[in-house]
Chain A
C-alpha cells in the first residue's frame, strides 16, 4: 500500500468515529449504563452503597417533546363525545386550535376556561377550538358535562396517542396545543399550559397569516420571538 494512503485512511477512520460520536450526542441514545444516581448532593452521607439507576421500561430515554413536528395538519379521525368517528377535515378551511389533554392532568384542567373563552371570542373569525382528550371516554364525557365544555371534543386512547405521535409528540406529555392556519399549515405547537397572553399572541399572528399580511416563515418567527418575550412573566 502506498505510504500516503495511511494518513488518509486514518483520517477517514477518525471521521467515521466522529460521525458515530456525533450521532450519539445528537440523539442521546447512548447505551444504558448502570449508574450512580443524582450526583453527590443527592446522596445521603451515610449511604453504605451507591444507588443504581434503571432501565426505562415504558419509553425511549431522552427528549419527550416534539422531535419532528409536521408542516401540515395530518389527517386523522377520532370518536366524538357520542363515539361517532369524526375527521379533523370536518373543520377544513378554518384555523384550528387543537388542544391535547387528559382528565388526570391539572394544567389541562386549568386551561379549559381559557379555551372556552377563545372558542367564544374567535369562533366568528373562522377559528375553531377542538379538544383532543387522550383518556377514557366515560371520564372525559363526565368531566366535559360537569364543566359544560361547549367546544367540540374528540376522544381516544391508543388511537389518540397515535394522533399525538403524528404531531411529533411521541411521549405523551400534556397539555399541548397545535395552532394551524386556514390552509392547514401548522403554525406552532405550544407545549404546556396555555395562558391568555400567549394564546392572543399566536392567534393574532395566525389572523395576519390568514389575511396574507405575512408568510408562514414570518409568522413562525414572529410567534417564537413573541413567546420568548412573554416567557419570563409566566415561568414557574
Chain B
C-alpha cells in the first residue's frame, strides 16, 4: 500500500509540472498578484514579416484592449548587406491622455512596409530588428520590445513560438499513467531483476 501511495504522489507531482502557475493548489501559493489580468507581451503583440518584391512587410497583430505607440515603432537592418529605407506606417488613431498628451496609436493590426536593397544578394539571410512598445487599456505598459525577424524564411514550421506542442499534454498523462502502472506492478511483489554486474 505504501508503495502505491508513493507512486500516486509521484504521479501527482509529474502531472502538476504541466499545470499553469495560476492553477497551483492553495498550499503551494505564496504572495499572489493579479498577473492573470494581463497578457504576456508576445501574446498581446504578435509580430511577423515577409518579403514582397523589394519591400519588407512587418505586421503586428494587437490583442483586443491593447495598443502600440506609432512613434516607438522601428524597423532596422541586421544583416550586413541589407539597406533599408525609412519605414512607412498607415495613419493610426489619436489617443489623448490627460497626463501624457496626444499620441498616435495602433490597435487591432498594423503593417509597416520598408523598401530594401542588398549589396550581396543571397549571401546572407535577410535579417531585421523590429522594436515596438505598447500598453494595455486596463492600465499597464510594456517596455520597448525588440525582435529579430527573418522575413525570407517562409515555409517553416507552423507552431507559434513558446506554444507547447499539442502532444505534450498527452505525453504528460501517458508518462504519469505509465508510472502508476509500474507502481502497481511492483506492488504485486514483482521485483526488477537487474543483470549481475
Contact = CB atoms under 8 A, between A and B. Distances in A.
Contacts of B16: 22
Interface stretch (A24-32, A79-87, A149-157): A24-32
A220 interface: yes
B109 A52 contact: no
B162 interface: yes
Interface residues of B, number: 87
A235 interface: yes
Nearest to A185: B31
A22 B192 contact: no
Nearest to B133: A104
Q: Which of B46, B50, B143, B169 has the most CB of A within 10 A?
A: B143
Contacts of B94: none
Contacts of B120: none
Interface string B38-54: 10111000111111100
A35 B130 contact: no
Contact of B38 (A11, A22, A65): A65
A38 B192 contact: no
A110 B139 contact: yes
Contacts of A214: none
A53 B47 contact: yes
B140 A55 contact: no
Given A106-B99, A193-B140, A8 B182 contact: yes
Contacts of B21: 26, 63, 67
A30 B161 contact: yes
B126 to A, nearest CB: 10
A9 B78 CA distance: 49
A17 B175 contact: yes
SS of B interface (majority): mixed
Contact of B109 (A22, A42, A49): A42
Interface residues of A, number: 88
Contacts of B140: 107, 173-175, 191-193
Contact of A52 (B49, B135, B181): B49
Contacts of A71: 30-31
Interface in B139-178: 139-151, 153-165, 167-169, 171-176, 178
B79 interface: no
Given A35-B156, A37-B59, A54 B178 contact: no
A163 B185 CA distance: 52
Contacts of A91: none
B140 to A, nearest CB: 4
B100 interface: yes
Interface string B114-146: 000000000000000110000111111111111
A105 interface: yes
Contact of A42 (B59, B162, B172): B59
Nearest to A110: B99
Given A65-B35, A110-B97, A21 B138 contact: no
Q: Which of A18, A33, A109 has the most CB of B within 10 A?
A: A18
Contacts of B38: 65, 173, 191-192
Contact of B33 (A54, A106, A188): A188
B194 interface: yes
Contacts of A112: 99
Given A30-B165, A105-B135, A192-B136, A54 B150 contact: yes
9 contacts: A10-B178, A12-B178, A14-B179, A33-B161, A49-B51, A56-B148, A57-B147, A61-B40, A235-B37
Given A18-B176, A35-B158, A70-B31, 12 more contacts: A18-B171, A25-B169, A37-B46, A37-B47, A38-B109, A42-B46, A54-B148, A59-B145, A63-B21, A109-B100, A188-B33, A193-B138
Interface of A: 1-2, 4-5, 7-8, 10-12, 14-19, 21-26, 28-30, 32-39, 42, 47-59, 61-71, 102, 104-112, 171-176, 186-193, 220, 224, 227, 231, 234-236
